[in-house]
Amino acid sequence: MRIFSADETLAALPYPVLIAKISELFAAGLTAPLRHHHTLTNSQGQNATLLLMPAWQDQQGFGGVKIANVHPENAKHGLPAVTASYLLFKADTGEHLALLDGSVLTARRTAAASALGAKYLANPQAQTLLILGAGRVARELPAAFSCLFPLQRILIWNRNPARAQNLVKELQALQTWQVELVSDLKLAVEQAQIISCATLAQQAVLPGAWLHAGQHVDLIGSFTPQMREVDDAAIQKAQVYIDTEAALHESGDLLLPLQTGALKIKAIRGSFYDLCKLQASQYDPKTLTLFKGVGHAVEDLAAAIVAYQAVSQLAK
C-alpha cells in the first residue's frame, strides 16, 4: 500500500486534473451513501464532528472511505480545524492501495468543487475574488479559481483580522495576484464578481442586501443545521444550486430557510449531476447565482484516484 505524506498528497493533486476528474465522475452519475455524521461533545460542552464518507464505482475500478474529525475550537490552540485520512482500495478485490493525507485531500477537493460550480455559474471573465475566511480551504481558493478564471485581485476578510493578514501575506508572497486585506466587508462585496465563504460561522456573515446581479456566491462552510453563512434574503435573491442533495439535509444555509418557507425545494435549480453534463457556462449578468456545497464522497474518491494514478504513472 502506498502511503502519501501531506506534501506528497498536495503534489499529486494539481487543480486542472482534479477539477476535470470531479466533473467526470458526477457527469457519469456516480453516487455514494449519505456520509455518516456524528456529533462529539467534550466535557466543556463543545461540539466536534466525526464524518465517515465512502464511495465506490466498478467502472473506475476504485473505492474509498474518508474519516474526518472537525473541531472548530482547534484554532484557539493553533491546530487545524479538520484532521482526516483517506483509504483507497480496489473495487473488485478490496485490496488497499493507498492511504492519503485526508486534510490536504479535503482542502484541495473542496476548493476544486467550488471552482467547478463557478465554472458553470460565474462570469467567465471574473477578475476579483472575495474570500470570507482565512483557514486551510480559504488558502486554496485563489489557485483553484485561477485555473478557470483570469483572476487579478484577491480580497481577504475574516472575523479575526490578524488571521486574515497572515493569509494576505502568504498569498502576496506568491506574487500571482493583487491581494488585499478587507476592513469594509460591504464595500468589498460590492466590488467582487465571485464571493467565496469558507467560514465556520453559526450566523450569517454575508447579507443578501449587499449582493447584486451578475455576482456568484460560493458557500463552503456550513455543514451542520446550526451553521450558516448567508441570510434568507441572499437565498431568496439568488438562483440556488447545490453540489448534491446532501446539502439539503446538512447545511443550515438551506435547512433554515426551508423550515421558514423562505426557500422551496422546487427553487433549487440543479446539482453537480446537472451542471457537469453541460457544455457551456450558464452565466447571466442579470442573475445572482449561489452554489452551496457540503462536500461529497464522490469528490474525495476523484481526488484519491487522481493522486494514485499520478504516482502510478511516475513509477512506470
Residue 239 backbone dihedrals phi, psi, to 5 degrees:
-85, 120
Torsion of CA 104, 231, 182, 174, to 10 degrees: 20
Would 112 be classed as within a structural domain?
Answer: no
168 and 254 part of one domain: yes
Contact by Cβ (8 Å): 149, 126: yes
pLDDT at residue 314 greater than cutoff 70 = no
Q: Quick one: which of 108, 111, 113, 88 has its CA closest to 98?
A: 88
* pLDDT tens profile 137-162: 999 999 999 999 999 999 999 999 99
pLDDT digits (tens, 9 = 90+) for 113-122: 999 999 999 9
Domain assignment present for residue 123? The answer is yes
The residue-averaged pLDDT of 18-42 equals 91
CA–CA dist 103, 85 (Å, integer): 7
| 51 has a pLDDT exceeding 90 | no
157-186 pLDDT per residue, tens: 999 999 999 999 999 999 999 999 999 999
* 12-50 as b/e: b if 16+ CB within 10 A: bbbbebbbebbbebbeeebebeebebeeeeeeeeeebbe
pLDDT band of residue 313 (cuts 50, 70, 90) is confident
- Domain extent, residue 27, equals 2-105+298-315
* Same domain flag for 48 and 140: no
- 236-289 residue pLDDT tens: 999 999 999 999 999 999 999 999 999 999 999 999 999 999 999 999 999 999
Least confident span in 46-55, 71-80, 112-121, 223-232: 71-80
For the chain, the domain total comes to 2
- Identify the bridge partners of residue 89 per DSSP, sorted by sequence position: 63, 96
Q: Give the three-class secondary structure for 3.
A: strand
Of the pLDDT bands very low, low, confident and very high (cuts 50, 70, 90), residue 315 is low
DSSP 270: E
Whole-number average pLDDT of the chain = 94
Query: Does some domain include residue 111?
Result: no
Tell me whether residue 303 is in a domain.
yes
Residue 316, pLDDT above cutoff 60: no
The arithmetic mean of pLDDT across residues 179-202, rounded, is 97
170 vs 297: CA distance, rounded Å: 30
Provide the whole-model pTM.
Answer: 0.92
CA atoms within 13 A on the CB side of 248: 15
Are 287 and 148 within one domain?
Answer: yes
Looking at the fold, whether 162 and 237 belong to one and the same domain comes out as yes
Q: Which amino acid is at 18?
A: L
Show the cell assigned to 222. Answer: 456550513
Q: What angle do CA 248, 251, 252 make, to 5 degrees?
A: 110
CA angle 23, 118, 53 (to 5 degrees): 50
| 296: confidence class by pLDDT, cuts 50, 70, 90 | very high
**Per-residue pLDDT at 37:** 82
User: Are residues 133 and 49 part of one domain?
Assistant: no
The CATH code of the domain that includes 189 is 3.40.50.720
Closest CA to 238 of 202, 303, 290, 186: 290
Is residue 131 domain-shared with residue 207, that is, in the same domain?
Answer: yes
For residue 249, tell me if it sits in a domain. Answer: yes
Q: Are residues 207 and 273 in the same domain?
A: yes
What the block records as the C-alpha cell of 285 is 449578468
Q: Which helix (H) or strand (E) holds 9?
A: helix 6-11
Q: What b-and-e string marks burial along 277-296, b requiring 16 or more CB atoms within 10 Å of the CB?
A: eeeeebbeeeebbbbbbbbb
| Residue at 110 is within a domain | no
Examine residue 215 and state whether it is found in any structural domain, yes or no: yes
Looking up residue 88, the CATH number of its domain turns out to be 3.30.1780.10
pLDDT score of 45: 78
- A 10 A CB-CB count for 113 gives 29
In this prediction, residue 211 carries a pLDDT of: 98
φ, ψ (nearest 5 deg) of residue 119: -55, -35
Question: Is the domain of 130 the same as that of 240?
Answer: yes
* Whether 100 and 139 share a structural domain: no
Report the pLDDT value the prediction gives residue 243, as an integer from 0 to 100: 97
Can you read off the three cell numbers belonging to residue 214? 451578475
The verdict on 281 and 302 lying in the same domain is no
Within this chain, do residues 88 and 161 fall inside the same structural domain, yes or no?
no
Does 121 lie in the same domain as 76?
A: no
